[in-house]
Structure 1
Amino acid sequence: MQSAGGRTIQEVRAREVLDCRGLPTVQVDVVLADGSLGRADVPSGRSTGAHEAKELRDGGTRYGGYGVRRAVASVVDVLGPGVHGLQADAQRVLDRRLVELDGTPDKSALGANALLGVSLAAARAAAASTGLPLYRYLDSDGHLLPVPLVNLINGGRHAAGQLQFQEFIVIPTGAPTFSEALAESSEVNLALGEVLEERYGRAALALGDEGGYVPPVSDPREALELLHVGVERAGYTGRFQYGLDCAATHFYDADERVYRLAGKPFTSEELLSLYLELIRDFGITTIEDPFAEDDFASFTDLTRESGIQIVGDDLFVTNPERLLRGIEQGSANALLWKVNQIGTLSEAMDAAAIATSHGYGVCVSERSGETEDPIIADLVVALNAGQIKTGAPVRGERTAKYNRLLQIEEELGAAARYPGPQFPGVSASRR
């Protein structure tokens, strides 16, 4: 093992690369004095919360304004020189320095995409220097493989379809291992494709941003019924739970203070009643962002009345301050954990620690604008979070995460654990 002195940051490089939507994102290299290299790509969301840390984009006509040359310049001209000589294995010191160099609460000066690239690449470089995989470097006790929340039908801003709920999810809680859970999920996905083609024709096999199907339906009940039929056809009835990511901020009319769903207005109370009906009728055990991003009170009401996992994404944006506010009010009972929402690994790890210490679940998540970088697979195991969202089991930017988890499962061997029926969204009465 190299001495700590060998883990001094010697060089930081950055470049523009493409994400799965064909849009630019930032890739960062951190090189240490001992020659160890850490590389990280920064994902990007389409359905973003107002309170997230801010990406830096170029504007103008190049790449439709989505270029990241300014963020790359932030890394090369400011952040790299600013962390030169720091120890890569002093993650908190490094990340504090990155935040200081930006100097804004939302990372808008240099760009959260620039800061995060350096933060993650430094962690990877330090892990490489120790000779450990990243999950083991971050937590020597990381051993829990996550239950995948597999998004098989896409809607909302992730698809050019009629569904306003963003994700319709199957959860393989009946499998004894992660590898078997992934196999069952893939088989359900194939069976669902057969069902969709039979009912709606081949056009229904079009895919959304996260690899899920985009059938020509607008009623969430119909989409949930399709999931059930797909599970049944695959031969796994009783082995799956079901979930929703509603991303309700994006169908909330702030002027009228109503939610517009499938062409109808819903008050918060009416929408809550709809969720309770869906939970009862379709075996739903987790719902993400059921209300608008600042409606803490309605999150509290649904958490209390539903008895299932209620996840805050746009509500919390992986921000410790917003999470603590939610905990105080009993708003949701789980955190959706996205490192790019807050901008540094240390701040994201703090949010996860706060959630866990208050009995909140933690679900590690990708973004709709992903790359082939599988880093969240290592992060979810390091956190022992037990839940991951990384899209359908298709397309390289999604399967890269699943494949990395298969590798980790093999590396852990007998030490690997899979939550299965202890998935946090499943209440004791439903197990």
Structure 2
Amino acid sequence: MEAGERRGRLRREAAEYYRGHRVPERMEEALNTLFPQCPEDLYGELANYFSKFSKAPVICKLVGRKIIGGVGQPTLEVELYCTVKNYEKRICSTVMATYSQIPENALPETIEADEKERNYSVHTAVEWVKESLSPMLRHLDPTDQCQADKMLGEYFANKVEEKEEIEKLEEEAKAEEEAAKVTPTSTPKQKKGGKPGKAVSVEAQSIPPAEPAESVLRGSLAIGATSLAIAKAGAIICHVPLYLYTALLKHNQESPKEITLPLPMVTLLNCEKNSPSKLKLVKEIMLIPPVELSLKQGIDRVLDIQKEMTRLLESRGKMSGSQANSKKGKAQKAPPSALKRISHLGCLTAGYDNLEQLLLLMQRACNNIGLELGTDVYLAINCAAHELMDYDKGKYEILTGTFKSPDEMAAMYVDIINNFPFIIALIDPLRKEDRDQWSSICCALGSKCYLIAEDAATQISKLKTDQNINIAMCSGVVLKYINQTKVSDLVELTGILDGQRHITILGSPDGESSDESLVDLAVGLGARFLKLGGLSRGERVAKYNRLLAIEEELAANGALREAKLEFVDFAEESQPEQLSNVLPAPEQG
């Protein structure tokens, strides 16, 4: 007891001396007793010991700046600084990926207007961070993600209300101005009949119109970027990787014993128009490695297929070029094939209108290197059906002059999956408005193929807050971290989807950034798939490398659990209760 009391007294005296009190006569004895190491280690030991008494880090400021994203578009970076041991320290930064609702085949003036709006939005986001979010979040504990996201959500809701009030006042002023201009003599006469010529078919009237695009508030990037920066800072302060920090948020601070890595959907081909007058049937062809392989083995297999596919496409381009030259009587060398061009998605670009022809070519590529589709690797197809709809005719134009109704599209997909059973996922095979057809293909194919909604799903904020989530019946949803999305939103929504037997796919936007946080979020949230694009372009390859690093870390710790491919047989479930809250029935009338 005497030795223990003496040691405790010496510690107290050392602490008093460190706080500025003068106890010089006993200090040397106290230090020698507390820290018996070599003299050169003394200051390090002192720092480690007294750091236990320092205050927890708190946010001191946020810095927002406009930078250039992966596709040359402006986007937002947010840096987070904390007060650590009375010093201001930069903890982390995050970069938001750019996202646009403008389709690839949009008119030039539409694209130009979208670029201007993007610039305004990033500029507004920088102002939000500097003038509002930084003062609002000052002195907040960065490990309190729920409180931070609550404050961000309330701030965003106030901005939405402000915008609505301004728009309401502008509409009232415009209505008054128009009413003042109207005179009795200038009132237009109603037309008795419609303009002759174009007749609207009954079938076209039965097609549900496209729902209006979700409005994006200028500056909303600041909300998502700040929430993610706080999550990254919390992980750093807690000395855990971001994927584990995310898993703790989802499971109420209970650390999972094992973690399953999401399966990668690696984009092999970005299919574009074969000519200006041709439309494409599919947007992306993706490869999914089997669950029996490690991620590293799966990526190596995909790279082998990509090399062989590149060789076949190049030889096909050279052959067509030489045939064209021979017909013209020219002996010059064939022009370089456009098939080598790398898409913004980080993959090869190929112009094909015949999906069956492309699938057979992929079968040939796999056979050439001793692999079999459906056993050694699987396919997923992003159909992007919303880009094919011709609203004048009320049908999908899958090829130039080839139109199909929603019912015919559903039948076509059933035939494709039956003929090519190695396709285990279809993304956006229909518009979200074609609810009956979504239901029919889910019942027909759900037991052997994932039917995924990406553009066919609404924004994350709507998915989380609406009582009736506005997506078609489907196997799962692609979630993207964009605009005003918060980390807490993803945690809550993935929990809902898990409970409804839906799979979650974390998706990378077309305009990706170099920030690797999406991979950690996907792992921590327990996503089934991860859709990152192809194995080219630095901003995309960095994410695959991060996924490989996480696999290596989990395997070393014995915490890696093997993934599974499980399908839902919708045909055996007549209006299942577990889907009712997420997937409402089609509106009547």
Normalised to the residue count of structure 1, the TM-score between the two structures is 0.87
Q: 1:197: Cα distance to partner?
A: 0.7
CA deviation string 1:254-308 (max 9, x = no partner): 3432111112211101111111121112221111111113333322221111122
CA deviation string 1:118-142 (max 9, x = no partner): 0101100111111111011121326
Q: Does 1:415 align with 2:523?
A: no
Q: 1:4: Cα distance to partner?
A: 11
CA distance in 2, matches of 1:315, 1:253: 17
Query: CA 1:389/1:109 → structure 2, altered by over 3 Å: closer, same or farther?
Result: closer
Match of 2:74 among 24, 27, 30: 24
Partner of 1:273: 411
Partner of 2:528: 386
Q: CA RMSD in A?
A: 3.1
Superposition map of 1:126-137 within 5 A: 126-137=234-245
Query: CA 1:403/1:303 → structure 2, altered by over 3 Å: closer, same or farther?
Result: same
Structure 2's unaligned 5+ residue stretches are: 1-50, 104-110, 162-213, 248-254, 319-336, 570-589
Superposition map of 1:26-175 within 5 A: 26-34=76-84, 35=89, 37-46=91-100, 65=119, 68-103=122-157, 104=160, 108-139=216-247, 140-141=255-256, 143-155=259-271, 163-173=280-290, 175=292
CA distance in 2, matches of 1:335, 1:4: 45
Q: Does 1:246 align with 2:390?
A: no
Determine what percentage of the aligned residue pairs are the same residue.
23
Q: Kindly indicate whether the alpha-carbon contact (under 8 Å) linking 1:320 and 1:350 is maintained by their aligned counterparts in 2.
A: no
Partner of 2:301: 184
Read off the aligned partner of 2:66 and give its amino acid letter: E
Q: Kindly indicate whether the alpha-carbon contact (under 8 Å) linking 2:432 and 2:471 is maintained by their aligned counterparts in 1.
A: no
Q: 1:233: Cα distance to partner?
A: 2.7
Superposition map of 1:183-202 within 5 A: 183-201=300-318, 202=337
Q: Kindly indicate whether the alpha-carbon contact (under 8 Å) linking 1:309 and 1:424 is maintained by their aligned counterparts in 2.
A: no
Structure 1's unaligned 5+ residue stretches are: 50-56
- Give SS of 2:353's match: coil
Q: Kindly indicate whether the alpha-carbon contact (under 8 Å) linking 1:338 and 1:365 is maintained by their aligned counterparts in 2.
A: yes
Partner of 2:442: 303
Q: Does 1:282 align with 2:420?
A: yes
Query: CA 1:364/1:5 → structure 2, altered by over 3 Å: closer, same or farther?
Result: farther
CA distance in 1, matches of 2:304, 2:528: 22
Query: CA 1:136/1:67 → structure 2, altered by over 3 Å: closer, same or farther?
Result: same
- Give SS of 2:228's match: helix
Partner of 1:54: none
CA distance in 2, matches of 1:44, 1:424: 32
Partner of 1:236: 371
Partner of 1:52: none
Q: Does 1:372 align with 2:514?
A: yes
Moved runs in structure 1, 4+ residues, more than 6 A? 1-4, 57-64, 323-330
Q: Kindly indicate whether the alpha-carbon contact (under 8 Å) linking 2:223 and 2:483 is maintained by their aligned counterparts in 1.
A: no
Identify which range, 39-48 or 277-286, moves more after superposition: 39-48
CA distance in 2, matches of 1:4, 1:98: 28
Q: Does 1:208 align with 2:357?
A: no
Q: 1:225: Cα distance to partner?
A: 2.5
Query: CA 1:60/1:194 → structure 2, altered by over 3 Å: closer, same or farther?
Result: closer
- Give SS of 1:192's match: helix
Query: CA 1:386/1:108 → structure 2, altered by over 3 Å: closer, same or farther?
Result: closer
Q: 1:47: Cα distance to partner?
A: 5.0
Partner of 2:458: 317
- Give SS of 1:168's match: strand
Partner of 1:53: none
If you compute each CA radius of gyration, which structure gives the higher value, 1 or 2? 2
CA distance in 2, matches of 1:3, 1:305: 64
CA distance in 1, matches of 2:54, 2:353: 57
Q: Which has the higher contact order (CA 8 A, sep 6+)?
A: 1
Q: Kindly indicate whether the alpha-carbon contact (under 8 Å) linking 2:64 and 2:79 is maintained by their aligned counterparts in 1.
A: yes
Query: CA 1:411/1:107 → structure 2, altered by over 3 Å: closer, same or farther?
Result: farther
Identify which range, 99-108 or 175-184, moves more after superposition: 99-108
Aligned residue-pair number: 417
